Amino acid sequence: MSVNLGLGQVSNDFLIAALVVYSLSVLAFAGDFAFGRPRRAASAAGAQRAASEARVAQLAAVGAAVAGAQTVAGAPAAAKPPADVTAPGEAGRPADAVPAGADPAAPPATGETRAAGPEQGRPLPEVVPSGFGAVRQAGAWVQAALALSVLGVSAHTVAVVTRGLAVHRAPWGNMYEFVTALTCVATIFFVGVILRYRAWALGVFVMGSVVVALGLTETLIYTAAGPLVPALQSYWLDIHVAAMTLATGIFFVAAVFGVVYLVAGRYGKRVPAGKAAPGNGIVLRLPGAEQLDRLTYRTVVFGFPVWTFGVIAGAIWADQAWGRYWGWDPVETWAFITWVLYACFLHARATAGWRGRRAHLIQLLGFASLIFNVLVVQVFVTGMHSYAGVG
Amino acid sequence: MTDVRAEEAAAGLDIVPSGAGSGGAGAGSDGAGSDGTGKSAPPSFGISGWLTWGWRQLTSMRTALVLLFLLALGSVPGSMLPQEGADPAGVQQYFTSHPALAPLLNHLGLFNVFAAPWFAAIYLLLFTSLVGCVVPRTFRLAGSARSLPPRAPRFLSRLPHSAGYSTALPPDEAIEAAAGVLARRGFRLRRAPAAETWVSAERGYLREAGNLLFHLALLGVLVSIALGGLFGYKADKLLVAGQTFADTRSALDEFHPGRLVGGGDLPPFTITLNQFAASYLESGPDRGQPSFFDARISYTASPGDPARSYDLEINRPLSVDSTKVYLIGHGYAPVFRVTDARGQVVYNAATPFIPGSTGNFLSEGVVKVPGAQPQQLGFLCVFVPTAVDVGGTLESVFPAAGNPAVSLIAYAGDLGMNSGVPQSVYQLDTAGMRRLTTGTELLQPGQTLRLPGGRGTIAFTGYRQWVSLQITHDPGQLPALACGIAALAGLLLSFMVRRRRVFVRARAGERGTTVQVGGLARTDASGGFEDEFASLANELAAAHHSTGPARQSETGE
Tell me, yes or no, whether A233 and A290 share the same domain: yes
Instruction: Judge contact between B529 and B549, C-beta under 8 A.
Output: no
Query: pLDDT band for position A328 (50/70/90)?
Result: confident
Packed helices A330-348 and B61-80: angle between N→C axes, nearest 10 degrees: 160
Is the peptide bond preceding residue B374 cis, with omega within 30 degrees of 0?
Answer: yes
Is pLDDT of B539 > 80?
yes
Higher per-residue pLDDT: A294 or B28: A294
Averaged pLDDT of chain B: 82
Measure CB to CB from residue B522 to each of A66, A304, A349 and give the nearest one.
Answer: A66
Among the residue ranges B258-267, B299-308, B458-467, B494-503, the one predicted with the least confidence is B258-267
Are A354 and B23 in contact (CB < 8 Å)? no
Residue of A290, A289, A335, A291 lying closest to A312 (CA atoms):
A335
Quote the CA–CA distance of B290 and B287 in Å, as a whole number.
9
- The pLDDT of residue B430 is 83
The pLDDT tens digits of the residues spanning A144-170 come to: 999 999 999 999 999 999 998 888 888
Higher per-residue pLDDT: A237 or B463: B463
- The pLDDT of residue B524 is 67
The pLDDT tens digits of the residues spanning A282-313 come to: 787 888 888 888 899 999 999 999 999 999 99
Residue of A209, A165, A158, A157 lying closest to A184 (CA atoms):
A157
- The pLDDT of residue B146 is 85
Is pLDDT of A130 > 90?
no
A140 touches B at CB < 8 Å: no
Tell me, yes or no, whether A343 and A194 share the same domain: no
Taking only Cα atoms into account, the Rg of chain B, rounded to an integer number of angstroms, comes to 37
Query: pLDDT band for position B60 (50/70/90)?
Result: confident
- The pLDDT of residue A87 is 31
- The pLDDT of residue A371 is 92
- The pLDDT of residue A384 is 64
- The alpha-carbon gap from B383 to the nearest alpha carbon of chain A, in Å, equals 24
Instruction: Judge contact between B312 and B343, C-beta under 8 A.
Output: no
Is pLDDT of B555 > 70?
no
- In chain A, the percentage of residues whose pLDDT exceeds 70 is 72
Does residue A153 form part of some domain? yes
**Side-chain half-sphere exposure of B339, counting CA atoms within 13 A:** 13
The SS3 call for residue A375 is helix
The residues with which B162 forms a beta bridge, in sequence order, are B518
Contacts of B293 in chain A (CB under 8 A): 230
- The pLDDT of residue A385 is 64
Task: Give the A:B interface size as CB pairs under 8 Å.
Answer: 319
Higher per-residue pLDDT: A146 or B551: A146
Are A113 and B524 in contact (CB < 8 Å)? no
The residues with which B255 forms a beta bridge, in sequence order, are B235
DSSP, residue by residue, B284-317: STTTT-EEEEEEEEEEESSTTSPPEEEEEBTTBP
Tell me, yes or no, whether A235 and A369 share the same domain: yes
Domain spans of chain B, in order of start: 49-147, 152-203+498-553, 231-329+471-487, 331-465
Mean pLDDT of B412-440: 82
Query: pLDDT band for position B556 (50/70/90)?
Result: very low
Are B531 and A91 in contact (CB < 8 Å)? no
Is pLDDT of B249 > 60?
yes
Determine the residue of chain B that is closest to A228 in CA distance: B291
pTM: 0.78
Mean pLDDT of B421-429: 81
ipTM beyond cut 0.90: no
Mean pLDDT of A206-234: 84
Instruction: Judge contact between A256 and A371, C-beta under 8 A.
Output: no
C-alpha distances (whole Å) from B45 to each of A226, B40, B52, B57 are 72, 14, 11, 16
Residue of B289, B273, B242, B274 lying closest to B400 (CA atoms):
B289
Mean pLDDT of B366-390: 89
- The pLDDT of residue A9 is 87
Tell me, yes or no, whether A180 and A81 share the same domain: no
Measure CB to CB from residue A226 to each of B25, B284, B524 and give the nearest one.
Answer: B284
The SS3 call for residue B518 is strand
- The pLDDT of residue A269 is 83
Tell me, yes or no, whether A82 and A198 share the same domain: no
**Side-chain half-sphere exposure of A312, counting CA atoms within 13 A:** 21
Encode A213-261 in three state secondary structure. HHHHHHHHCCCCCCCCCHHHCCHHHHHHHHHHHHHHHHHHHHHHHHHHH
Amino acid at site A226:
G
Does residue A51 form part of some domain? no
- The pLDDT of residue B22 is 36
C-alpha distances (whole Å) from A345 to each of A80, A287, B312 are 26, 21, 43
- The alpha-carbon gap from A51 to the nearest alpha carbon of chain B, in Å, equals 11
Gap between the terminal Cα atoms of chain B: 35
Higher per-residue pLDDT: B519 or A38: B519
- Name the most confidently modeled range: A85-99, B409-423, B458-472, B525-539: B458-472
Are A230 and B6 in contact (CB < 8 Å)? no
Contacts of B330 in chain A (CB under 8 A): none
Is pLDDT of A116 > 70?
no
Tell me, yes or no, whether A193 and A253 share the same domain: no
Are A70 and B477 in contact (CB < 8 Å)? no
Higher per-residue pLDDT: A391 or B417: B417
Cβ burial, residue B501 (10 Å; 0-12/13-18/19+): buried
Measure CB to CB from residue A65 to each of B13, B281, B285 and give the nearest one.
Answer: B13
C-alpha distances (whole Å) from A202 to each of A42, A79, A94, A288 are 17, 12, 15, 12
Are A125 and B161 in contact (CB < 8 Å)? yes
Is pLDDT of A252 > 90?
yes
CA A386 to chain centre: 29
Q: Would you identify the CATH topology of the domain B152-203+498-553? A: TATA-Binding Protein (3.30.310)
- The pLDDT of residue B554 is 32
- The pLDDT of residue A265 is 87
| Interacting residues of B124 by C-beta distance below 8 A, sequence separation 6+ | none
Tell me, yes or no, whether A21 and A164 share the same domain: yes
A121 touches B at CB < 8 Å: yes
What residue numbers bound the domain in which A388 lies?
A: 228-391
- The alpha-carbon gap from B395 to the nearest alpha carbon of chain A, in Å, equals 22
Cβ burial, residue B414 (10 Å; 0-12/13-18/19+): middle
Asked which of A94, A113, A133 is the last residue of a domain, the reply is: A133
Helices vs. strands in chain A: H and E counts, helices first: 13, 0
Is pLDDT of A8 > 60?
yes
| Interacting residues of A228 by C-beta distance below 8 A, sequence separation 6+ | A169, A173, A237
Question: What are the start-end ranges of the H helices in B117-170?
Answer: 117-146
Quote the CA–CA distance of B204 and B208 in Å, as a whole number.
8
- Name the most confidently modeled range: A33-42, A67-76, B40-49, B462-471: B462-471
Asked which of A133, A152, A180 is the last residue of a domain, the reply is: A133
Mean pLDDT of A46-50: 44
The residues with which A341 forms a beta bridge, in sequence order, are none
Measure CB to CB from residue A227 to each of B2, B291, B541 and give the nearest one.
Answer: B291
Residue of A1, A7, A6, A3 lying closest to A159 (CA atoms):
A7
Does residue A276 form part of some domain? yes
Quote the CA–CA distance of B220 and B478 in Å, as a whole number.
11
Is pLDDT of B352 > 90?
yes
Tell me the Ramachandran region of residue B276: left when phi exceeds 0, alpha when psi lies from -120 to 50, beta otherwise: beta
Is pLDDT of B553 > 90?
no
Interface of A with B in 289-318 (CB under 8 A): 294, 297-298, 301-302, 304-305, 308-309, 312, 315-317
Determine the residue of chain A that is closest to B494 in CA distance: A301
Residue of B383, B369, B499 lying closest to B428 (CA atoms):
B369
The SS3 call for residue A298 is helix
Contacts of A109 in chain B (CB under 8 A): 165, 538, 541-542, 546
Is pLDDT of A107 > 80?
no
Quote the CA–CA distance of B92 and B99 in Å, as a whole number.
10
Determine the residue of chain B that is closest to A113 in CA distance: B549
Query: pLDDT band for position B2 (50/70/90)?
Result: very low
Tell me, yes or no, whether A279 and A384 share the same domain: yes
Higher per-residue pLDDT: A95 or B310: B310
The SS3 call for residue A379 is helix
Contacts of B542 in chain A (CB under 8 A): 107, 109
Does residue A43 form part of some domain? no
- The pLDDT of residue A151 is 94
Are B165 and A113 in contact (CB < 8 Å)? yes
CA B187 to chain centre: 39
**Side-chain half-sphere exposure of A133, counting CA atoms within 13 A:** 13
Are A294 and B4 in contact (CB < 8 Å)? no
Measure CB to CB from residue A65 to each of B10, B15, B480 and give the nearest one.
Answer: B15
If one counts the domains in chain A, the total is 3
Tell me, yes or no, whether A259 and A382 share the same domain: yes
Give the mutation candidate from B503, B530, B532, B552 for the A interface (greatest A CB count, under 10 A).
B530
Residue of A10, A69, A7 lying closest to A291 (CA atoms):
A69
- The pLDDT of residue A383 is 66
Q: What are phi and psi of B398, to 5 degrees?
A: -155, 140
A111 touches B at CB < 8 Å: no
CA B402 to chain centre: 41
- The pLDDT of residue B359 is 66
Asked which of A133, A158, A180 is the last residue of a domain, the reply is: A133
Quote the CA–CA distance of A328 and B400 in Å, as a whole number.
32
Mean pLDDT of A90-117: 35
Instruction: Judge contact between A66 and B15, C-beta under 8 A.
Output: yes
- The alpha-carbon gap from B391 to the nearest alpha carbon of chain A, in Å, equals 27
* Helix (H) / strand (E) containing B508: strand B499-509
- Name the most confidently modeled range: B116-125, B392-401, B431-440: B116-125
Mean pLDDT of B34-59: 68
Does residue A122 form part of some domain? yes
Tell me, yes or no, whether A258 and A391 share the same domain: yes
Is pLDDT of B281 > 90?
no
Does residue A50 form part of some domain? no
Among the residue ranges B22-26, B202-206, B271-275, the one predicted with the least confidence is B22-26
Is pLDDT of A88 > 70?
no
Mean pLDDT of A159-185: 88
Are A66 and B520 in contact (CB < 8 Å)? yes
Mean pLDDT of B51-73: 87
Mean pLDDT of B10-28: 35
Residue of B197, B257, B269 lying closest to B229 (CA atoms):
B257
- The pLDDT of residue A106 is 35
Are A321 and B315 in contact (CB < 8 Å)? yes
Packed helices B477-496 and A289-322: angle between N→C axes, nearest 10 degrees: 160
Question: What are the start-end ranges of the H helices in B41-199?
Answer: 47-58, 61-80, 88-97, 101-107, 117-146, 171-184
